[in-house]
Amino acid sequence: MTGKTVLSIGQCRPDQAAISHYLTSHFGATVLTADLPTDAYQLLKSKTVDLVLINRKLDADSSDGMEILQQILGDKATATLPVMLVSNFAEWQEKAVACGATYGFGKAELNRPETKLRLSAVLE
Note the pLDDT of residue 97. 97
71-115 pLDDT per residue, tens? 999 999 999 999 999 999 999 999 999 999 999 999 999 999 999
The answer to whether the predicted template modeling score (pTM) of the entire model surpasses 0.85 is yes
Contact 88, 82 (CB under 8 A): no
All domains of the chain in start order, with CATH: 5-123 (3.40.50.2300)
Q: CB-side exposure of 113: number of CA atoms within 13 Å?
A: 0
